Amino acid sequence: MSSIEQLETLRNAELYDDCKTLAEFILTLDECGKDYLDNEQRLIVYRCLADSTWFLHEYHLAESYLKKLLHSYKQLDKNNTIIEPDWLIESKYRQHVCLLKLNRLKEGLTILESIPLHQRTAKIHLALGQCYQKVGGSTQESISAYRECLKQNPNTLSAYIALLALGVKLNDLLHTHPSAASIHHENQAQQPAPVTISPLLRQSWFRALLQADACSASRDFSEASRLYQQIDAQHLPQSTYVLSQLGYTQYLNGDYAQALHSLQRAQQIDPLLLKHMDILAFLTYTECKDSSLDKLVNHLMSLGDHHPETWIAIGYYCLKKNHKPSRTVYLAQKAYALDNTKIQALLLKGLALYKLKRYSDSLVHYKEAVRLTPFCFEGYKGVVDGYLATNRLSDANMFITNAVRTNLKENVRAFTLCGQVLAKEPSSLDKARFYLEKALSFNTKYTDAIISLVEVYGQLKQQQKSIELLKEHVQINNDPRIRQLLIENLMKSGSNEEMLQQVVRNYPTSHFERLEREMNDDSSLDGGRFDTGPMGDLDPMCDDVIGENFSDEDP
Read off the pLDDT of residues 503-523 as tens digits, 9 standing for 90 and up: 566 554 344 445 445 444 543
Structure confidence at residue 517 (pLDDT): 52
* DSSP type of residue 549: -
pLDDT digits (tens, 9 = 90+) for 431-455: 999 999 999 999 888 989 999 998 9
Q: What is the pLDDT of residues 144-184, one digit of tens each?
A: 999 999 889 888 888 988 998 888 888 877 764 444 333 33
How high is the pLDDT of residue 370? 95
Per-residue pLDDT at 47 exceeds 90: yes
Question: Is there a contact between 201 and 175 (Cβ–Cβ < 8 Å)?
Answer: no
- Fold topology of 274-358: 1.25.40
State the Cα–Cα distance between residues 140 and 456, nearest whole angstrom: 47
Q: What is the pLDDT of residue 377?
A: 95
- Name the more confident of 552 and 403: 403
Q: Which pLDDT belongs to residue 487?
A: 77
Q: Residue 542: pLDDT above 50?
A: no
Phi, psi of 111 (to 5 degrees): -65, -45
**H-run or E-run covering 50:** helix 39-55
Q: Which of 79-83, 410-414, 427-431 has the lowest mean pLDDT?
A: 79-83
Which range (279-283, 335-339, 416-420) has the least confidence?
335-339
Grouping H, G, I as helix, E, B as strand and the rest as coil, residue 52 is helix
Q: What is the rounded (10 degree) CA torsion for 227, 233, 236, 240?
A: 80
CATH code: domain 203-270 is 1.25.40.10
- pLDDT band of residue 386 (cuts 50, 70, 90) is very high
CA dihedral 246, 249, 250, 251 (to 10 degrees): 120
Out of 154-163, 251-260, 398-407, 465-474, which region has the weakest mean confidence (pLDDT)?
465-474
Bridge partners, residue 548, by sequence: 546
The distance from CA 360 to its chain's CA centroid, rounded to whole angstroms, is 24
Tell me, what DSSP letter sits at residue 32? T
Distance CA 453, CA 419 (A): 8
Q: Quick one: pLDDT at residue 170?
A: 82
What percentage of the chain reaches a pLDDT higher than 90? 54
Contact between 260 and 240 under an 8 Å Cβ cutoff? The reply is no
Residue pair 313/297 in contact by the 8 Å Cβ criterion: yes
Give 27-37 pLDDT, tens digit per residue.
Answer: 998 887 767 78
d(CA 448, CA 207): 36
Q: Which residue, among 100, 155, 168, has the nearest Cα to 132 in the 3D structure?
A: 100
Q: Which residues pair with 196 in a beta bridge?
A: 177
| Per-residue pLDDT tens digits for 230-278 | 999 999 998 999 999 999 999 999 999 999 999 999 999 999 999 999 9
Mean pLDDT of the chain: 83
| Helices and strands (H and E) in the chain: how many | 29, 2
**In whole angstroms, what is the distance from residue 268 CA to residue 301 CA?**
16
Contact call for residues 338 and 307 (beta carbons, < 8 A): yes
Where are the CATH 1.25.40.10 domain residues in the chain? 203-270, 274-358
